[in-house]
Structures are given as structure tokens and as C-alpha cells.
Amino acid sequence: MKKIYTVLVFSMITVFSLYAQKADIIISNGKITTLNDTKQEVEAIAIAGNKILDIGSNKDILKLKGKHTKLIDAKGKRVIPGLFDSHLHVIRGGRFYNLELRWDGVTSVKTALGMLKEQAARTPKGQWIRVVGGWNEYQFEEKRLPTLEEINEATGDVPTFILYLYGKAWLNKAGIQALNITGDTPNPAEGLIQKDEQGNPTGLLVAEPNAFILYSTLAKLPNMTREEEVNSTLQYMTELNRLGVTAVMDAGGGFQNFPDDYTITDELNKQGKITVRLPYFLFAQNKGSELKDYTQWLGMVNIDEHAPNGHNDIDYYVGGAGENLVGDAGDFENFLFPRPILPNAMEDNLKSVISLLVQNRWPFRLHATYNESIERFLTVIEEVNKETPLDGLVWFFDHAETVSEESLQRIKALGGGIAIQHRMAYQGESFIKRYGKTPALASPPIKRMLELDIPVGLGTDGTRVASYNPWIALYWITTGKTVGGNQVMAKSNAINRIDALRLVTHKGYELIKEEKKGKIEKGYYADVVILDQDYLTIPEQDIKNVTSELTIVDGKIVYGNKEFKTFAPALLPVIPTWSPVKYFGGYQHK
């Protein structure tokens, strides 16, 4: 009898606690796209702590209002789950963001050159102007690249570096002098320092096809102070929040060394200042020593042990290895040059690393542009699987633009996934010039991936090639068009807006087998965005320009604009004071 009484009392206390729980935040009067199968659109959301307490009608959700509940009237705006970019170089990008003049979204060469000239006037001696990816000539109304003469005229004696996709970069005359490049400077392997008829460097650096010449040159440029790098990382995360991004799978990147180059985000994580969920992957840097590096990192990192305390205990952790596992497997998508032929030693080197990772149950991701490379990679993974079964281990290819039907079937059989990006929105025209229109129609074959029920996430691969703006990815995948408006992917291969939104929200989490994220649903983590435009109804061209007016990450308001500005923390001042971000911001609309 006593036992029954105790159970009844406990049950009553539990029920009372559930009914007594009040919301910390209520968003009402919204057009809320939940991506929930049972309640696809609702009016209101209640958030308690870092979870969604309930969703439903204004009337029902407002019953959860307490004395301290923050009420937010969405005023009929579209509300969606926070966006999850499954491939972005945010930790590296954050270290340099305040130094970069972004041409992402700029609509004319004239405007781009004007920005160069304006920035040259404020850049102090000893520093550089740098434009680092996220643009191409087709976005400009002139449909051409700036010339070296125009770049030199705009920048004068201020050293300047301008990166174009994976293919080439320009140095102005002052930049050539600052780096002491002469007619006698040797070309690096798979790279070209262009020279004129007199043997003097013109300022053009060409990847043939390896991007090492571009990234190694960029790495020689001066950095900021520690304080400025911290500010830069915070500014970049705020920029992502402004675009509705609440989570990122960081893919490491060239010249991003672990653990040295992760100390800033380590510090910000301890302080509870990271404003995007941030699982990150470790990218092998040194060709020939990849196995040694991963062996060392296995001893440093417990892949199953996320930080037990702190704001980002579920968000900031080593997610696995990649996207570069071995240098020999680098099939660079520089469509200005033919596909690189991977060396014969690739299989043995890749197998040693993947075997190590699988034996230690480390998830892995692998950069793979061309099907010719993917076929060889799959053979290696199949061999490893026979020796040490993958047995549900998370693994996936990044990019996979030209993956074949046979390769998709093999990926499916091995339990793999694919992270796709909008690189063809920036390189589609170059791809067609080299490989023709027909192969571009299904590069990548998105619909077939989904038909096979292969886990697929959508991202950007920002910042050094494509832009970090996820709305370009949503525009591209729903229209098949490039940033220049050219129809590159077949309309029949494009997907509808809801399915596209799924790929950049909960489907991205399914790629890494994380649950309770990416939907607006009771019990899910509270990552929510109020949009400035209705993504589901606006003309397709306007999708590229969507931004957030309020962004919530893990139940906390991290960004607010216009009438929602008062709900959000004040924006940090940008340092250094001459930073292009202070004057131009990030993604441009001009």
C-alpha cells in the first residue's frame, strides 16, 4: 500500500511540474514552418531553457506565459528551424574575417573596384587588402573579371591579394614587391607564377590545378593581434547568425592546424560565447605524415567525450577526421584545368588512414569531386569494411558533383552519406566550358541521392571558393541556376523549397546521426529563425537575398534586426578600426 501511495504522489508531482513549467520565450503570430510531419505550420512556439516546450496556436501557447516570459510577436513573418551548414570552414574563416573585403553578392566590376579603392585609402602601412573567394565574373553586370591594370589603379601602393575560386589569384604591383617575387622565383609544384615577355611576374598566380600556390601565398600575409582575431571570429559568427545559420559542420581546411589554430574557439567555448553549434573535423595538413598526425590526434581526443559542462557542451567538439585525409587523394575541382589524376600510391596511403579511423570508431569525411576519384575511394573503403566492419560508423563524401549511379549504389551499401554544396552556382559556367552542358545537368544528381535514401546534407563550402551564404545554396538547389542566373543544373534535378530546407536543417543532422535538432518540434533543441522575407512564397530570384531578423541558438537570442533588435545582445564594435567589415559588412547587396 505504501509503495502504491509513493508512486501516486510521485506521479502527481511529475504531472504538476509539467503543467507548472512556463516558457522563457514565446514567439507568436508567425507563419511557422516546423518540418514536423504532424503539425507542418503553426502560429506559436514556446521555448524553455534550450528546448522547445510546445508548438501550436497562439491561444494554446500563450497559456505557457509566466511572469518572466519574453514575448516576441513575429508579425506574420515566416519562421523556420535554424540553418545547419554541413560544410563550412568557419573556424579558419573566423580567424581572417575582419581582414577580408568580401565581393560576395556585388553586382558590378565598377562597384568591386570602387570598394578596392575605398579600402586602399584606409588600410594602414604593413597590412594588405585581400578579397578571398565567394564571387565570380558572372555575377557582375559586365560579365567579366577585373583586369590587373584596373586592380593596380584602384589599389596603388597598398599590397593586394584577390582570390578567384580554386583557379587563380591576382597580386598587385605592391603585393609582388612585398612578397619579393621576381622573374627568378620558381614555380611551385602544380602552380604557375605568370611572367610577361620580359620574364617579369605579372601578378597572376595560377593553380595548375593544385590550389597550393594560392593558399600558401595567402598564408604569408600578415595576421591580426590575438584580440582582433577573437573579435573577428565573433563577428563572423554574428554574420552567420544574420543569415539564419545556427549550426555548422566545420571541415577544417588547408593551413588550419590542430590544435594550435583552434585556441580562439576553444577559449570562446569556455566563455559560452560561441553562437553556432560547431562540431569540427580534423584536416590532415602535411603530405606524407597523415597517418602519424591522425595517430597523434587519436591520443589527444576522445571522440565520444563531449564537454560535460558549459554553454556549448553539445555543440563544440571534434566530430571526426577530414575532409582531407591524405594529400594523395586531393582531386581539386579547378575546372579551369583538366581533372587531376591521383597517384598510384593513393590507395595504400588512404587505406592506412581509414583503417586507423574505423578501428578507433572515428567518423570521417572525404573531399571527392570526380566520380573517377570516388570509384577508387570506394574500393578502399570496401576493403577496410571487409577487415573492420564500418557497422554504422558515420562517414560521408563531400561534394560528389559527378558521382555515378553505380557509385551511389556502393555508397548506399556501405551506409555512407553525401554533403553537397552550391559550388556549381559559382563554377557551373567553367564546368560547362570544360565538360559540356549535358554532364552539368545532374552535377550533382541530387534527386537520385534522395530517391536512394542516402543521407544528404546541404552546405556552402565557404569562404574561399563559394560564398558562405546558405541562401545561395537554397536558390541554386531549387532553381538549378548559378549566381549569374544561368541554367546549369536541369530543372528536373532541382528540388522543391521545403525539401531543400530539410537538407539544410534536420537532414544535415541525420547525416551525422544527431537527433532532436533541425525541426521546430516539442522536445527539440531550440534553434529558431524569423526571416525578413517569406522563403516559401517570394520570387525565386529573391531567395538569394533572404536574411534573419531574429536568430535563436540553443534557446538563446543571438541576433536581432529592425523591430527585433531590442531582444538581442548589442553588436560588438569591429576591430581593427580599418577593417573592411566595419565599413562594408560581409555578404553584399549592391
Average pLDDT over residues 241-270: 96
Looking at residue 357, its pLDDT comes to 98
pLDDT tens-digit profile of 90-141? 999 999 999 999 999 999 999 999 999 999 999 999 999 999 999 999 999 9
Q: How many structural domains is the chain composed of?
A: 1
Choose between 58 and 16: higher pLDDT: 58
110 falls within a domain: yes
Looking at residue 19, its pLDDT comes to 52
166 falls within a domain: yes
**Cell numbers representing residue 580 in the block:** 573592411
Collapse the DSSP code of 107 into the 3-class scheme (helix H, G, I; strand E, B; otherwise coil) and give the result.
coil
364 falls within a domain: no
Torsion of CA 300, 305, 311, 315, to 10 degrees: 90
pLDDT tens-digit profile of 279-307? 999 999 999 999 999 999 999 998 875 54
pLDDT tens-digit profile of 476-525? 999 999 999 999 999 999 999 999 999 999 999 999 999 999 999 999 99
Q: Exposure string (b/e) for 466-495, b if CB count within 10 Å is 16 or more?
A: bbbbbbbbbbbbbbbbbbbeeebbbeebbb
The amino acid occupying position 155 is: T
Residue 191: which domain range?
97-223
50 falls within a domain: no
228 within 8 A of 575, measured Cβ to Cβ: yes
Looking at residue 282, its pLDDT comes to 98
Q: Please provide the DSSP assignment of 109-129 as one string.
A: HHHHHHHHHHHHHHPPTT--E
Would the pTM count as exceeding 0.85?
yes
pLDDT > 70? residue 402: yes
Looking at residue 303, its pLDDT comes to 85
Looking at residue 305, its pLDDT comes to 58
**Cell numbers representing residue 372 in the block:** 573517377
Collapse the DSSP code of 237 into the 3-class scheme (helix H, G, I; strand E, B; otherwise coil) and give the result.
helix
Looking at residue 16, its pLDDT comes to 44
Question: What is the chain's mean pLDDT, rounded?
Answer: 94
Looking at residue 175, its pLDDT comes to 98
pLDDT > 80? residue 567: yes
Looking at residue 4, its pLDDT comes to 52
Least confident of 113-122, 178-187, 335-344, 535-544: 335-344
230 falls within a domain: no
Looking at residue 18, its pLDDT comes to 46
**Which of the four pLDDT bands, split at 50, 70 and 90, describes residue 309?**
very low
Looking at residue 14, its pLDDT comes to 45
Q: Please provide the DSSP assignment of 55-96 as one string.
A: EE-HHHHGGG--TTPEEEE-TT-EEEEPEEEEEE-HHHHHHH
SS3 content of the chain, % helix, strand, coil (to 5): 40, 20, 45
Average pLDDT over residues 452-475: 96
Place of cell 601578378: 203
352 falls within a domain: no
pLDDT tens-digit profile of 38-97? 899 999 999 999 999 999 999 999 999 999 999 999 999 999 999 999 999 999 999 999
Smallest Cα–Cα separation from 493: which of 481, 502, 504? 481
513 falls within a domain: no
* CATH code at position 180: 3.10.310.70
pLDDT > 60? residue 5: no
pLDDT > 70? residue 542: yes
Collapse the DSSP code of 557 into the 3-class scheme (helix H, G, I; strand E, B; otherwise coil) and give the result.
strand
416 falls within a domain: no
Choose between 287 and 589: higher pLDDT: 287
Smallest Cα–Cα separation from 580: which of 99, 55, 14? 99
Average pLDDT over residues 188-198: 94
For residue 538, give the H/E element and its range. Answer: none
